[in-house]
Amino acid sequence: MTADELYQQAFRSEIAALKPASLCDVGCGAGTLLAHAQSLGIAAAGIEPDTAKVADANGRGLNIRAGAAETLPFPDAAFDLVTFENSLHHVTEIGRALAEAMRVARRAVVIVDPWFDLSIPSQAVGDRYERWLKALDRMTGMVHWDPIAAGAIAAACNGNNVIVRHLLQLTPMSNEAFEYYAGRAQPHRESPVYKANGMDQELAAIRTAFQITGITEAGSLLVTVLK
């Protein structure tokens, strides 16, 4: 089982254990989780800002609306669960989105998002590289935040009980993959913002650290906030 499959299985098992009759997946993309939920008899709806993905998913019989996490178009306690499957770090206003999720959820909010164990050298370098890549994405206008701490999620949700799990299956990054991702910087190298932030210098330092310790891919932070 790959790491991604392990994390997805853990997330879905957490949802199944709560035995919801309904759920809303925020930032649902093409609706993979919604289709899985429906196969289990769960009434599922999704919110997705990409209108092309919304149209495609609706054409496949999934209930997805175009919208933003910060302003969910549903009444209070409309769903048993509200979920974020690797989408929270793409939300513009994380605190506001989590408050909306708590408003719309009747029983719980369940979140899975990337996480690094900084006590492991290859993970610490992975975290550093991830932050470099996300800074590059933000230069293009993408919303792509650095890894979110469990404490920040708990504080924003203000639930009655917060259950946190850290999942990690160490998966080394190849040199080819490292250089492929680093190549995304090429169109931006003459940008004043790129230069002002010392992006090339940081990449060189990360490359040196990578040669010493290697890089392992992110683990997953699984957070369940019960109301």
pLDDT tens string 31-87:
999 999 999 999 999 999 999 998 888 888 899 999 999 999 999 999 999 999 999
Mean pLDDT of 168-195: 96
Residue 207 and residue 178: Cα distance in Å, rounded? Answer: 8
Residue 141, domain extent: 3-226
pLDDT value of position 119 = 98
pLDDT value of position 160 = 76
CATH number of the CATH domain containing 147: 3.40.50.150
The number of distinct structural domains making up the chain is 1
Residue 139 and residue 147: Cα distance in Å, rounded? Answer: 17
User: SS3 string of 20-84?
Assistant: CCEEEEECCCCCHHHHHHHHCCCEEEEEECCHHHHHHHHHCCCCEEECCCCCCCCCCCCEEEEEE
pLDDT value of position 209 = 98
The predicted model scores a pTM of 0.94
pLDDT value of position 57 = 80
Residue 8 and residue 205: Cα distance in Å, rounded? Answer: 32
- Share of the chain residues as helix, strand and coil, in percent rounded to the nearest 5: 45, 20, 30
Query: What percentage of the chain exceeds 70 in pLDDT?
Result: 100
Contacts of 172 (CB under 8 A, 6+ apart): 122, 214, 215, 216, 217
pLDDT tens string 87-105:
999 999 999 999 999 999 9
pLDDT value of position 58 = 82
Residue 186 and residue 64: Cα distance in Å, rounded? Answer: 36
pLDDT tens string 159-173:
779 999 999 999 999
Residue of 220, 109, 94, 113 whose CA lies nearest to 162: 109
Mean pLDDT of 6-25: 97
